[in-house]
Structure 1
Amino acid sequence: SRSLLIPCLNKTMNRTKSDSDSSLPKNFETNLAEVRDALINMGTLPYLTDGTLLGWYRECSIIPHTSDADFAVSRLEYRENKSFKKIREPLIYSWNSAKVLEWDSLEVTLRPEKGGSIDIFISYDQVDDEHLYTHGVSGDGTRVKWIVPRPTGFCSGILRGRLFYVPCNVEETL
């Protein structure tokens, strides 16, 4: 199903001027594509998640006032590859590895030179047959756990002219 292209809704959102100002550098999707390719080359399947998935599906874009973008990968793929440190070798990014634990990772944050950040969340299967969970850190530093519907498979979506993997059950996931 990865070849199945899911269309985004291309809705226009009514935003104030400040909500329309982008916090991310121009052409940030190039950074996303570089990270996507590096993750794929590591043997993982990165898919859009959280606000990035919402922005793609609702607006066919990145939500303008967001300051980051989000991918998720399976814990099993992470364990097979031992470390995401391989990802920074071909890229010019700073990286926050303090949050990475092999058995219970919160998130990996990459910071491209030109601004913005890309979070990589590890998804865990241990909830039940219909859900999985990811961990993260809220703005005030509190550890959080999100339980979300398990992707029924992975399809493709176009975000600013580039293909990315998305859960095939995108509406249920959101």
Structure 2
Amino acid sequence: MPHITLNSDEPGIRGLFRFRPETALPLNELAEVLLCGESTLSRGERELIGAYVSALNACRFCYSTHAAIAAVQLGEDLVLVEQVRADVARAPISDKLKALLAIAGAVQESGQKVSEQHVTTAKEAGATDIEIHDAVLIAAAFCMFNRYVDGLDTFAPDDPAVYAARAQRTDGYLAVLADSLRLG
């Protein structure tokens, strides 16, 4: 049961957006830019970074949501996402993505944990400065999103079908927000 009385029974961050719609727009604009905007990283790779950080933060709602979206966007099933969650080093992903996930994992602990070696490894694997920047910002944003969702003890459905249904939406975070607020 959430720590505050929400005006919606929507799960996770969606219920919080309904509660404070004035905060929903800027947070969704940030998600839209980071996860759906122009990038040399695919949307699936960026969603995977968000899912990975959410797993490290033990945020069930955000992990389940973004793991499902990453799987769809990568044209994979959840097996790949779970492999990344369990052991990035052995997951069947590019060395560049492994290096960016290592940076994201360091950010999850503390921004000060990102070392010159992290950055060098990422660059040697082909990561650009923008990709490194975006991996750091995605990780930092997901730490905030995870703490927002869990800090208010929002509801996270147990049914994987709930997350799978959301993952089928490919029109981005602003479109989903507009539909959500219009429905209420």
Instruction: Tell me: higher relative CO, structure 1 or 2? Use CA pairs within 8 A at least 6 residues apart.
Output: 2
Greater helix content: 2
TM-score by length of 2: 0.29
Higher strand share: 1
TM-score with structure 1 length normalisation? 0.30
